[in-house]
Amino acid sequence: MLNLNDLFVFVQVVNHGGVAAAGRALGIPKSTLSKRLSELEKAIGVRLIQRTSRNFTVTEIGRDFHRHAAAMLIEAEAAEDVIKGRLAEPSGTVRITASLPIAQFHLAPLLPRLAASYPKVRVVLDVSDRLVDIVQEGFDIAIRNHFGPLPDTDLVQRRIDYDPAWLVASPGYIAERGVPSRPEQANGLDGLMASSSDRAWTLHNDEGAAADVTPSPRYVANETVSLLEAAKAGLGVACLASSFCAALIGSGVLVRILPGWTARGVTTTLLMPHRRGQLPSVRVVADHLIRELSQRTSRAGLPDPGSGL
C-alpha cells in the first residue's frame, strides 16, 4: 500500500510545476519533497519525473499516475468530510440486539421516538433470545437481563436498572391458604417455579437477613407471562420481578406475600464494544436508552428473569 502522504507530495509537485515551487506553496523544504519523491519512485519501481537542476518533466507513466493519484486524494478528502459530517450531527446505522421481552415491553415504544429525534440515524433492531456475540456479529449495542455479574470482557458495560423479585399470589389463593407473616410460614405453599431444578427462593430483608422459602412445586414454566397467568388463576405462589407485577398488586389482581422480603432480582445492562472510535450516533442512542430505561417508574412488563440473557 502506497503512502498517501507521498502521493500528496507528488501531486502537489506536478500541480506546481516543480519541487521548488511546491515547497514554497506548502512551506516544506525542497530537500524534504525531493526525498519523498525518491521514496515514492523507489516503492513503485518507475521514474515519475525527470528532473535536473534546470529541467522538470513528468514522464508518460507519471502523467497517468498523477491522474489516479489526484483522484485518490479527492476521495480521501471526501472520506474525511464524511467523518466530519457525522461528528457534527449523529448519522448512520446503529445496530441493537435485545431479547424478545425487552424489545416488546421497552424498546418497541422507545425506539421510534428516538429515531424521530435523530432523523439521520438509522436504527436496526435484532430481536433474539440467544446469546449474541456483539463484536463478531457487528452489533453496536446489546441490552441484556441477568441475575449474577456478567463475564469480565473488553465490552463497555453500563448498568441500567435493577429490579428485585417479589412473592405473589392471587387473593383467592391467599384467602384459602392464609397470609404468611414470616418466611418459614411460606414453606410448603404451592410453588409456581421457573425451572424444574428450582427448590427454594432465597429472600432478603432491609436489615440484611436472609431466609429460604421452600415451596411445594405445583407448576413449572420458564416464561414470565405463563407464571403470571398461573398466579392469577390461583394455582399458587410465583416469584416475579417487582415491576412486572406492581400494577397488578395495586389493582388487587395479585397480593404480595411477605412484603418486607425480596428475592434475587434482574439486572438490566447495556453493552457496547469499546468506546474508542465510536461514532456519535452510537453514543447518542446508548445515552438515550440508558436515560429512558433507567427512569422507568411503571412498566407493562419486564424481560423474563429465566431467559438466560
Maximum distance among all Cα pairs of the chain, rounded to whole angstroms: 109
pLDDT of residue 97: 94
206-228, pLDDT tens digit by residue? 898 999 999 999 999 988 889 99
**250 and 105 within one domain:** yes
pLDDT tops 70 at residue 59: yes
**218 and 113 within one domain:** yes
Which residues lie closer than 8 Å to 144 by C-beta, 6 or more apart? 98, 99, 150, 268, 269, 271, 309
Q: What is the CATH number of the domain that holds 123?
A: 3.40.190.290
* Measured distance CA(59)–CA(83) in Å, rounded: 36
**75 and 103 within one domain:** no
pLDDT of residue 299: 42
3-state secondary structure of 218: strand
Return the residue matching grid coordinates 428516538.
Answer: 114
**215 and 127 within one domain:** yes
Contact 294, 163 (CB under 8 A): no
**121 and 8 within one domain:** no
Per mean pLDDT, which of 2-6, 32-36, 134-138 is the most reliable?
32-36
**185 and 37 within one domain:** no
* Measured distance CA(182)–CA(205) in Å, rounded: 11
Q: By percentage, how much of the chain surpasses pLDDT 90?
A: 59
How many domains is the chain built from? 2
**259 and 292 within one domain:** yes
Pick from 37, 40, 47, 35: nearest CA to 13? 37
**175 and 48 within one domain:** no
pLDDT tops 90 at residue 37: yes
pLDDT of residue 85: 66
Phi, psi dihedrals of residue 205, rounded to the nearest 5°: -110, 180
What average pLDDT does this structure show over 226-249? 94
Q: By percentage, how much of the chain surpasses pLDDT 70?
A: 92
Domain's final residue, options 64, 88, 112? 88
**46 and 159 within one domain:** no
* Domain coverage including residue 71: 4-88
Domain's final residue, options 72, 88, 104? 88
Q: What is the CATH number of the domain that holds 31?
A: 1.10.10.10
Which residues of the chain form beta strands (DSSP E)? 49-51, 56-58, 92-98, 121-127, 141-146, 156-169, 190-193, 201-205, 210-213, 216-220, 237-241, 255-257, 261-272
**153 and 277 within one domain:** yes
pTM (2 d.p.):
0.60
pLDDT of residue 173: 97
**182 and 34 within one domain:** no
Is the dihedral angle over the CA atoms 157, 158, 161, 162 positive or is it negative? positive
pLDDT tops 70 at residue 297: no
Return the residue matching grid coordinates 417487582.
Answer: 242
pLDDT of residue 306: 34
110-159, pLDDT tens digit by residue? 999 999 999 999 999 999 888 888 887 889 999 988 877 777 677 888 89
Domain's final residue, options 63, 88, 113? 88
**264 and 289 within one domain:** yes
